[in-house]
Amino acid sequence: MATGQVLVVEDDEDIAELIAYNLRKEGFRATCVASGEEAQRKLRTESYNLVLLDLMLPGIDGLEVCKGIRKHPGTAELPVMMVTAKGGESDVVAGLELGADDYIVKPFSPNVLLARIKTLLRRRKKAPGEADAPIETGLLTIHPGRHEVKIGDQQVELTNMEFRVLYFLAGQPGWVFTRYQIVESIRGENYPVTDRSVDVLITGLRRKLGSAGTRIETVRGVGYKFTEA
């Protein structure tokens, strides 16, 4: 049986009850709220292992809630799965760029949802004392523990997804990865992210890195690689 506290942010009462029922059946503890404001209050006062977050909410929408989760030090590493009827590519990209860890589109199978939740929690879980090592290459420093990127003394603000892509590529300089391999390595298999979505992320990452962005090279017909300093 799984364990953990899940915050379900869903304004459709029937869907919220269905999700909560299936979570509890698997051993999770589920708390349901119906608005972004309620979610923010809960996140300030209680501890959770995962947030299931609808995009279309009354008042503060799901994207703003996700943005707030990633900005606050106490919740910056909290796994977030977006559960929504908005399944267009631009919606997927927007959610991932703001730091969502996964994205499932309504209508969905409860069994598929539970499988994705368990996969996400396994991927995020680390053994005691385990930590990803910082990367220093040229003037670029990438520190996963602090979720910090610097070029010299200047800090670069990246979304959670951009940070993961950079850390993955920079950790294996010179190696060429397909778009699928990039998505698979940082998110797991079978995620609703297209080749175009990866290109959009890389473009944004290069722009934020400035001159250092040229180190992420496009390998025509294959994918991307990070070059040595």
Count of domains forming the chain? 2
Find all residues with CB under 8 Å of 213, minimum gap 6, and list them.
Answer: 205, 206, 207
Q: Is residue 96 part of a domain?
A: yes
Mean pLDDT to the nearest integer, 17-33: 96
Q: Please tell me the distance from the alpha carbon of residue 66 to that of residue 52, in angstroms, as a whole number.
A: 10
Distance (Å, rounded) from C-alpha 153 to C-alpha 18?
49
- pLDDT band of residue 194 (cuts 50, 70, 90) is low
In order of 10, 83, 170, 222, the CA distances from 18 in angstroms are 11, 13, 42, 42
- Summarize pLDDT for 26-42 with one digit per residue, the tens: 999 999 999 999 999 99
Last residue of a domain, one of 69, 91, 124: 124
Burial of 178 (0-12, 13-18, 19+ CB in 10 A): middle
* Spatial distance between the Cα atoms of 148 and 141, rounded to a whole number of angstroms: 8
pLDDT at 99: 78
The predicted model gives 137-153 an average pLDDT of 92
Tell me how far apart the alpha carbons of residues 35 and 20 are, in angstroms, rounded to a whole number.
16
Q: Let me know whether 58 and 116 are in one domain.
A: yes
Residue 69 sits in the same domain as residue 154: no
User: Among the three residues 97, 124, 151, which one is the final residue of a domain in this structure?
Assistant: 124
CATH (domain of 23): 3.40.50.2300
DSSP 80-124: EEEEES--SHHHHHHHHHTT-SEEEESS--HHHHHHHHHHHHHHH
Exposure pattern of 98-109 as b/e (b: 16+ CB <10 Å)?
bbbbbbbeeeee
Residues 152 and 92 grouped into a single domain: no
DSSP-assigned letters across all residues of 112-136: HHHHHHHHHHHHH---TT--PPPEE
Work out whether strand 223-226 and strand 50-53 pair parallel, antiparallel, or are unpaired.
unpaired
Q: Are residues 141 and 120 in the same domain?
A: no
Q: What is the mean pLDDT of residues 203-208?
A: 94
Q: Are residues 28 and 87 in the same domain?
A: yes
22 and 71: one domain? yes
Asked whether residue 117 falls in the same domain as residue 151, the answer is no
Q: Does the pLDDT value for residue 195 go beyond 70?
A: no
Whether 57 contacts 11, CB under 8 Å: yes
Residues 115-141 pLDDT 10s: 889 888 876 665 444 457 899 999 999
Is the confidence at residue 207, as pLDDT, over 80? yes
> pLDDT tens for residues 79-93?
999 888 866 667 777
CATH code of the domain containing 146: 1.10.10.10
Same domain, yes or no: 95 and 46: yes
pTM of the model: 0.60
How far apart, in whole angstroms, are the C-alpha atoms of residue 165 and residue 19? Answer: 31
DSSP element (H, E) containing 143: strand 140-143
| Range(s) of the domain holding residue 212 | 135-226
Q: Letter for the amino acid at 147?
A: H
